[in-house]
Homo-oligomer: A and B are copies of this chain.
């Protein structure tokens, strides 16, 4: 086996063996296969694709490239959730503690903001003291003790993914479904998850704009997971509008705390928490079905057990409990700016992508990996979807730093407001944010 012949085989449309794939992945980590061969191979994969078997072998080789957390001893399968990224997506803060409150281990490893979408780790770091970088032993101990962790990937897990992802990013090879699949699943399997709910976002605010491409990625994920012995289910969910009422790091943590306390939850956020949390309990073996799981999640939510578990998590990872309990403990913006509606009509939501792009520009996200983040920056929606609004009524509150440019900002924010210009709310209540559910064919 040599790199040149393996690249050529893939370039010419061949199916690589486990040995050939392992040679490249091991070589990526040991340095014996140089980066210029790795990007040539991955660009060939971009054009020629991989079979499900190859994708599973790639995932296995990536898992084997580093440490693997022990699978925790529990009557239920340890379960995680992965989202492909959206704007205002704070679901992890709800589902992780709610599922853990049901006694199911939740070893959740999250990522950072990417492009116009937010990142769970960045949001968590708006909580004073919260540590997202835990060593594998700390993760395992915490998981044994309180049944939940919510942290970044540690360097010793799946080192091949960091190398390959860095090269894909630098060489414009990100958008390859088999490579995305292996990247996601390798991290989840290495952290000790045995079941996985996938939240594949679809729409103008998601990386997958088309339903067909979302469905394709979802199928690859669940089929490859099945080949790896990982139970999984994918939910295709709407990402055209900002999820919930806020977007921005500290604002989303605060909204999640209010929701867990039962202090008002946006409809879409509530529906997705029940759907994803219900599936997590189902896959973990803690509920007989997703529907039963959702009912269990609802009970744990109403009883306050989810919120308790959330506070336990924050404290376990060094966060200040009072910062999330009190009204003033999280970073607050130097200024806020209320934007009036330009027109009257029925409010549908805020256009997710331009909101996410503004947050990045205003310092609440990153243009480059090394950029610092202003956790207080964000957007708050002042009315709920399906409300009737009249022109001039405040509709959005921008949280921004004192130095942020204001030129044209009001007009820009007004363009985010999606209105139904008709005379009344659309019939049939709010649309279901779950667009489809995909289980492995097997």
Contact = CB atoms under 8 A, between A and B. Distances in A.
Report how many copies the assembly holds. Answer: 2
Interface in A85-117: none
A172 B8 contact: yes
Contact of A40 (B4, B5, B8, B173): B173
Contacts of A39: 36-37, 39-40, 43
Interface magnitude class on chain A: 20 to 34
A41 B11 CA distance: 14
Interface in A158-172: 167, 169-172
Contact of A171 (B37, B169, B172, B173): B37
A36 B4 contact: no
Nearest to A5: B172
Contacts of A44: 43, 47
Given A11-B46, A46-B11, A47-B47, A172 B35 contact: no
Given A43-B11, A43-B43, A170 B35 contact: no
A173 B3 CA distance: 12
A7 interface: yes
A171 B7 contact: yes
Interface in A166-188: 167, 169-173
A171 B4 contact: yes
A171 B6 CA distance: 9
A34 interface: yes
Contacts of A37: 39, 170-171
Contacts of A46: 11
B172 A11 contact: yes
17 contacts: A3-B170, A4-B171, A4-B172, A7-B171, A7-B172, A11-B173, A34-B36, A34-B170, A35-B35, A36-B36, A36-B170, A36-B171, A37-B39, A37-B170, A39-B39, A39-B40, A40-B42
In the A-B complex, list the 10 residue pairs whose CB atoms are closest, starting with the nearest. Answer: A40-B171, A35-B36, A43-B43, A8-B172, A39-B40, A7-B172, A36-B39, A47-B47, A36-B36, A40-B43
Interface of A: 3-5, 7-8, 11, 34-44, 46-47, 167, 169-173
